[in-house]
Amino acid sequence: MSDILQSISQAVIDGDLNEIGELTEDALDDGNSAETILNEGLMPGMDYVGVEFRAGRMFVPEVLRSARAMQTAMDILRPLLIADNVQMVGKIILGTVKGDLHDIGKNLVGMMAEGAGFEIKDLGKNVDPDTFVNAVKEYEPDIIGMSALLTTTMRSMEHTIKALEEAGLRDRVKVMIGGAPVTQDFANKIGADGYASNASSAVELAKQFVGAA
């Protein structure tokens, strides 16, 4: 890995919002493609952050800073990746389910997943089942990620899966769920394809779903 790409990885790990943009521009000026910067600079940095987070050596505030640094670089690279028609590893639709207005966990999943090479469509919060169904029709994702932080809104996940079944779309997508009250048992019960307890695990699960792990 070149020095500039290594510096980008380190800036992601450190959550260095002051340096990451300039480093990304410098890497482009040095002749690195947007795809190279993503694959050899940003992604290794976020992979390291994910490992440290799962091991309990990094915590949510630090991971958020790293994710924001990565997003700063992605804001520069995204138009170039689109222009170069770079194939992302997969497409994910994210949303906090109907009745729930919490989105920090969902946002973190989105940022880390984009850093892992996924194209993200974030539907926001308080997303009803029909909106998820329509988004699957429009965007044709590989994966739907649903989040809930309240026990009272968890049932909306089940309603969304049933709505996908009724629309004949369930077999087209993998469904993963997460959030503080959510468990693997609940995922099994409602017919979700997977459960993740944190953002890093969600990204690993998404990679497995698309064969990129």
Distances in whole angstroms, Cα of residue 129 to Cα of each of 11, 57, 58, 100, 153: 39, 37, 34, 13, 12
- Asked if 95 and 41 touch (Cβ cutoff 8 Å), the reply is no
| Mean pLDDT, range 132-143, rounded to an integer | 98
Does the pLDDT of residue 190 top 80, yes or no?
yes
Domain-ending residue, one of 83, 111, 132:
83
Token pair of 125 as six digits: 């919060």
Same domain, 96 and 198: yes
Give the domain range for residue 174.
90-209
Does the pLDDT of residue 156 top 90, yes or no?
yes
- In the numeric block, the tokens 């919060």 are attached to 125
Give the pLDDT band of residue 213 (cuts 50, 70, 90): low
Q: What is the pLDDT of residue 173?
A: 97
- How many domains, the chain? 2
Give the pLDDT band of residue 2 (cuts 50, 70, 90): confident
**What share of the chain has pLDDT > 90, as a percent?**
86
Distances in whole angstroms, Cα of residue 175 to Cα of each of 6, 129, 150, 209: 34, 13, 19, 10
Q: What is the pLDDT of residue 54?
A: 87
Domain-ending residue, one of 37, 67, 83:
83
Same domain, 99 and 200: yes
**Which residues are CB-neighbours of 63 under 8 A, at least 6 positions away?**
49, 53, 108, 112, 199, 200
pLDDT digits (tens, 9 = 90+) for 9-22: 999 999 999 999 99
Same domain, 97 and 192: yes
Q: The CATH number of the domain where 16 resides is what?
A: 1.10.1240.10
Same domain, 23 and 128: no
Does the pLDDT of residue 189 top 70, yes or no?
yes
pLDDT digits (tens, 9 = 90+) for 69-101: 999 999 999 999 888 888 889 999 999 999 999
Same domain, 145 and 165: yes
Same domain, 66 and 160: no
Same domain, 78 and 95: no
Nearest to 202 by CA among 153, 145, 150, 127: 145
φ and ψ of 195, to 5 deg:
-130, 140
